[in-house]
Copies of this chain bind each other. A is one copy, B any other.
């Protein structure tokens, strides 16, 4: 199981970015996202997507993050532009996990300094400033070895069939099964 822990969500400044974190987490192979700040609207939006496109996927907001990190029994991976190159350490993360859960910690602009010490790994998707959404996407890709491409979601009301030109949306019940 992979949990994404999102720190530094600023509802006023960048409400959309955390939504992107949550939906990318779901689409690319995480099982849950925990957001440190309380945000009911965010929760509702993500749950609506899960209901429509399938799950399971858990979203929680207002999560006491230090406690969540401390109590986590698996491997804690903090994504940061200051960390070690992810491609050099991903095998070590997998070895260290050995079937245990993985927590991916992603911050906003400023991350409290103690996160670096609480994490088992501090990993960088490039040592350049960019985006926690992009970093999360690449990290999930590496940790699951691209398994997101084969992921199936359950209980979807709506599914998209791949198409070279345009949109092919299937509503549940329409399918010939």
Query: Contact flags (1/0) for A16-35 with B, using CB distance below 8 Å?
Result: 11011101101110000000
Assess the A162–B130 pair: CB atoms within 8 A.
no
Q: Is A13 an interface residue (CB 8 A)?
A: yes
A136 lies within 8 A of chain B by Cβ: yes
Q: How far is the CB of A158 from chain B (nearest CB, A)?
A: 10
Q: Given that A20-B133, A133-B137 are known contacts, is A164 also in contact with B122, CB under 8 Å in the complex?
A: yes
A93 within 8 A of B: no
Q: Answer yes or no: A72 CB below 8 A from chain B CBs.
A: no
A69-98 contact mask (Cβ, 8 Å, vs B): 1 or 0: 000000000000111110100000000000
A159, closest chain B residue (CB): B127
Question: Smallest CB–CB gap between A76 and chain B, Å?
Answer: 13
Interfacial chain B residues near A87, Cβ < 8 Å: 146, 149
Q: Does A14 contact B (CB under 8 A)?
A: yes
